[in-house]
Structure 1
Amino acid sequence: MSLGKKMIFLALVALTISQTAKAGDPDILTDFILPPNYNQVDGNFFTFTGLRSLVYDPIPPSFKVIKANMEQLPALNGQSVSYAALVYPSNSVNPVHTHPRSAELLFVLQGSLEVGFVDTKNKLYCQTLQTGDIFVFPKGLVHFQYNADSKNPAMALSAFGSANPGTVSLPNTLFNSTINDSVLALSFKTDVATIKKIKAGLKG
């Protein structure tokens, strides 16, 4: 390999590495980041108490998620981590969704869950999880969790490699947005009347 080709190759490698390094949350140059106009900081700034409801509140009537990300806990800004607690009453589902900025590591705290994700080749990977099991949903891929138990609730805790992983709920994104009904009907090879029925069902 000539010197010129070696230099081009090394430049491409360096570019690839730099782009990979930028793929996650940006690195920070301080111990932590304070919000604007935030002058004093103590232990309260680093504390989130929102998950106490898992211990003290009754099981909700429908699926519930309690997020602990940068919006709820500003101290997470720049730390590249966050949590979500998920509560699944009997026969409930966390609808198909994606997290565009992070993989998800789900830990089943109670009950059992049917989980799965679809890769970019349209292959479904699914599993039945029991209490104590962990499952990883790769970054950006469509996935779901379902409590098929008709009697018992389930609970799980999800960890993310981003302070703000984002959630794109497919039902809401597609049918509770302002995308034209005709576009949706053509996309799903159906008619506008069916699209309107789906939209009405999601609002009910």
Structure 2
Amino acid sequence: MEFNGACLMAILVVFSSVGVIYASDPDILTDFTVPAGQNPLKLTGDFFTFTGFRNVSNNNLAGQKAVKVSKAVAAEFPALNGLGVSMAVLQFPAGGLNPPHTHPRASELLFLVEGCLLVGVIDTTGKLFTQSLTKGEVFVFPKGLFHYQLNTDNKVEAMAVSAFGSANAGTVSLPSTLFTTGIPDNVLAKSFKTDTHTIELLKAALKNP
């Protein structure tokens, strides 16, 4: 079979369209998705309401080192199933770091509510893009790219709200994925051009932050 230019172009368009379709949450054929066992005729506004953020601003982070993440994703908020959106509130203690991580199923739009953050994202060529954010500014992290956020103030807490283009964006943390998931020490040592003793120290530090 011979392919002319028009035929080849049509094939390319079809395959590129398929890639776009499967790059996001699948479309649903109803207005929204009702969990199994629930009668859609008995739903009220409560089904579309998430209350998990009510007290999030009242949490005291004094003495804490880790970033506190409160999520409104499909697991916590079933009404999001099939809608392709979700949210998270990130609370940064003074000097707190959200280590390099990626969201394999969604881009992230981060809005800084309070404080200041140094954010960075690395593209597939290895180029690092950084920005110092202040209250009221927004930064976007493209889907699948590793990124991080650091509270550069060692005295004041920071808070941000993130929106995701998926009901279940997923999170892959670079440090924990590499050092706490059972990858053999010799594999990690060769990968980082170091010795197994150093790898064991890193693993121990991540287990006891």
Question: Which range, TM-score by smaller chain?
Answer: over 0.9
Q: Secondary structure at the match of 1:50?
A: coil
User: What is the TM-score normalised by the length of structure 2?
Assistant: 0.92
Deviations 1:138-168 (A, max 9, x none): 1101100000101100000000000000000
Question: Are residue 58 (structure 1) and residue 97 (structure 2) matched?
Answer: no
Distance 1:120 1:4, change over 3 A: closer
Pairwise CA distance, 1:5: 3.6
Partner of 1:191: 195
1:22-37 equivalence runs, <5 A: 22-37=22-37
Question: Are residue 125 (structure 1) and residue 129 (structure 2) matched?
Answer: yes
Cα RMSD of the aligned pairs, angstroms, is 1.5
Structure 2 regions of 5+ residues with no counterpart?
Answer: none
Pairwise CA distance, 1:38: 2.0
Pairwise CA distance, 1:14: 2.3
Pairwise CA distance, 1:4: 4.1
Partner of 1:170: 174
Deviations 1:96-124 (A, max 9, x none): 10000111110000000000011111111
Question: For the residues of structure 1 that align with 2:129 and 2:204, how far apart are their CA atoms?
Answer: 31
> What amino acid does structure 2 have at the position aligned with 1:44?
D
Question: For the residues of structure 1 that align with 2:99 and 2:9, how far apart are their CA atoms?
Answer: 45
Question: Are residue 150 (structure 1) and residue 141 (structure 2) matched?
Answer: no
Which portions of structure 1, spanning 4 or more consecutive aligned residues, are displaced by more than 4 angstroms? none
Q: Secondary structure at the match of 1:196?
A: helix
Q: Which residue among 77, 82, 87 is the counterpart of 1:83?
A: 87
Question: Are residue 42 (structure 1) and residue 50 (structure 2) matched?
Answer: no
Give the paired residue count: 203
Q: Secondary structure at the match of 2:90?
A: strand
Question: For the residues of structure 2 that align with 1:116 and 1:37, how far apart are their CA atoms?
Answer: 43
Structure 1 regions of 5+ residues with no counterpart?
Answer: none
Pairwise CA distance, 1:53: 2.2
Q: Secondary structure at the match of 1:9?
A: helix
> What amino acid does structure 2 have at the position aligned with 1:188?
F
Question: For the residues of structure 2 that align with 1:3 and 1:175, how far apart are their CA atoms?
Answer: 50
